[in-house]
Amino acid sequence: MNYTLLCDFYELTMGNGYFLAGQERRITYFDLYFRKVPDGGGFAIAAGLEQVVTYIENLRFTAEDIAFLRGKGGFAPEFLDYLTRFRFTGDIYAVPEGTPIFPNEPVLTVRAPAIEAQLIETFLLLTLNHQSLIATKANRIVRAAQGRTVTEFGSRRAQGADAALNGARAAYIAGCGGTACTLAEMRYGVPASGTMAHSWIQMFDSEYEAFAVYCRTYPENAVLLVDTYNALKSGVPNAIRAFRTVLDPLGHRPRGIRLDSGDITYLSVAARQMLDEAGYPDCKIVASNALDEYLIRDLILQGARVDLFGVGERLITAKSNPVFGGVYKLAAVEDEAGRLTPKIKISDNVSKITTPHFKKVYRLYDRQTGQAEADYICLHNETVDDARPLELFDPDFVWKRKTLTNFTARELLTPVFLRGEAVYRPPALNDIRAYCQAEIATLWPAVTRFENPHNYYVDLSPALWTVKQELLQAQSAGSGY
């Protein structure tokens, strides 16, 4: 699908204005970052870069696009002619998908001519905002399950087809074991699975007959939904009967039963006892029904005997906090000689004040433990020497200092496009998933807890902090930066 006009209209009006003002080739630097972790968590997870790469590689204005814009009026013929030859020619740097990320640090940086950098703003934001949001929520749910498999069940409650498909992808990156969305497996390789709905049982004259037919049809994957009528009085007994009369003679073992309503703790404990006494201790119990990380955590604390969780609407919509809040802000401009002029946005809301300049982001790991200690944002031409001590300070509380000595430094932003050419190929989805799990494991438990997580250090280098302060002072003095 052609997504070129999936942009805010002001990106086109500004582009037309830049073109008429002779600014179309002016090199600009934009940072994409977010301000607050959803659900009060300690970290988020970056996702969506693969779709960004595909979008940039296919960014073209068709004859139909140009005709539509001409019909809108207000665009110079020369600008529309420029759009017929439009290609992205700039540079993009981004953190790899699956990386734990923190507020106010660049997740993606664009260096490109003004019109190009401005035009891609909407698609970059909607893609990274959505998938990072779902990945972050999914990982909270996965961690709450304490090693039990979580499957994403939410396609029917997602806000549109793309949200269902890409949400399933993001959830898998973050640790979900699979999805109910069939297209997600065909398109991305996310394992898709499913068995039956309540309508299957209702279609037959009896619950037992419905179970028996299903077991004969799928003897190697018999998972039966037992709560259509009464889970303990009929559902589980009829499932056991079908296992004995159909699966046992065929030499197959049942895969599981699913509970989708009622008191999951009580029902799962009772069902587990019934299955064990019937000789099916290996039959898994699956639970679904409007679950989230807190309900799953409570079920486990209450002693629920659940082996797998199917999570739908509260995952795929990130219902408790459905906006990620990523923003895209100008950080610098470049003149014809290659000299950079840092730019800052100032607001009465301190959280909306931007950090200027073209920047690098390092992640600093303790050399002995491998744990992530801090992220360090510095100017693009600075280098962290991890053979020397590094003093960190909180940019909001400069008196709070921390010195790292025995550490290793890793740059987070990797080149994705250089001079308009893709230099990065997204890894296989399973590799992204494994990388995500490994990187989360480097975070201290105090950072990953759900309530009142520890504030992970994200610090500015002294040089970058000085640039920011000078711009703030110049603005307050009215010097016209």
pLDDT reported for residue 422: 97
Boundary (domain end) residue, out of 255, 289, 316 = 316
Coil, strand, or helix at residue 1? coil
In a shared domain, residues 311 and 329: no
Does residue 130 form part of some domain? no
Q: For residues 469-474, give the mean pLDDT.
A: 92
Residues 231 and 211: their CA atoms lie apart, in Å, by 13
In a 13 Å sphere around the CA of 329, the CA atoms on its Cβ side amount to 24
Q: What is the pLDDT of residue 395?
A: 61
Q: Clarify whether residues 37 and 171 are in a common domain.
A: no
> What does the pLDDT look like over 134-166, one tens digit per residue?
999 999 999 999 999 999 999 999 999 999 999
Q: Which of 316, 348, 364 is the last residue of a domain?
A: 316
Task: Tell me which of 316, 333, 358 is where a domain ends.
Answer: 316
Give the pLDDT mean for 209-223: 98
Shared domain for 264 and 412, answered yes or no, is no
Give 201's Cβ-side CA count (13 Å radius): 21
Residue 8 in tokens: 């805010």
Alpha-carbon span 299 to 146, nearest angstrom: 11
Do residues 72 and 143 share a domain?
A: no
Mean pLDDT of 237-257: 98
Average pLDDT (219-244) is 98
Burial of residue 63 (number of CB atoms within 10 Å: 0-12, 13-18, 19+): exposed
In a domain, 1, yes or no: no
H or E element that contains 215? helix 207-217
pLDDT band (50, 70, 90) for residue 436: very high
pLDDT band at 481 (very low <50, low <70, confident <90, very high): very low
Q: Nearest CA to 382 among 401, 417, 409, 419?
A: 409
Closest-CA residue to 28 (of 355, 342, 337):
342
Q: Are residues 165 and 300 in the same domain?
A: yes
80 & 162 share domain = no
Which secondary-structure segment (H or E) carries 400? strand 397-404
In a domain, 362, yes or no: yes
How deeply is 475 buried, as exposed, middle or buried, from its count of CB atoms within 10 A (0-12, 13-18, 19+)?
middle
Tell me if 81 is assigned to some domain.
yes
Query: Rounded CA gap, 32 and 43, in Å?
Result: 16
Query: What's the whole-number mean pLDDT along residues 414-429?
Result: 97
80 and 208 both lie in a single domain: no
Same domain, 390 and 456: yes
92, 108 in Cβ contact below 8 A? yes
CA distance 321 to 159: 14
Asked whether residue 349 is domain-assigned, the answer is yes
Closest CA to 433 of 172, 56, 84: 172
156/269 same-domain check: yes
Tens-place pLDDT, residues 280-325: 999 999 999 999 999 999 999 999 999 999 999 999 999 999 999 9
| Residue 94 sits in the same domain as residue 175 | no
Provide the 3-class DSSP secondary structure of residue 20: helix
CA–CA separation, 92 and 110 (whole Å): 5
Question: Is the residue at 126 inside a domain?
Answer: no
Q: Is residue 128 included in any domain, yes or no?
A: no
Confidence of residue 402 (pLDDT cuts 50, 70, 90): confident
What CATH number corresponds to the domain at position 309?
A: 3.20.20.70
Q: Are residues 312 and 333 both part of a single domain? A: no
pLDDT digits (tens, 9 = 90+) for 99-118: 999 999 999 999 999 999 99
Q: Give residue 390's domain range.
A: 9-119+325-476
How far is residue 168 CA from its own chain's centroid?
10
Number of domains composing the chain = 2
pLDDT number for residue 442: 98
Using alpha carbons only, give the angle 196, 306, 173 rounded to the nearest 5 degrees. Answer: 75
Q: Is residue 481 part of a domain?
A: no
Do 163 and 283 have their domain in common?
Answer: yes
436 touches 331 (CB < 8 A): no
Average pLDDT over residues 59-77: 97
Is the per-residue pLDDT at 344 higher than 70?
Answer: yes
Residues facing residue 30 across a β-bridge: 110, 330
CA R_g for the chain: 27
pTM over 0.85: yes
Element (H, E) at 299: helix 293-301
The predicted pLDDT at position 51 comes to: 98
State the residue for tokens 């749910």: 141
Q: Residue 89 belongs to a domain with what CATH number?
A: 3.20.140.10
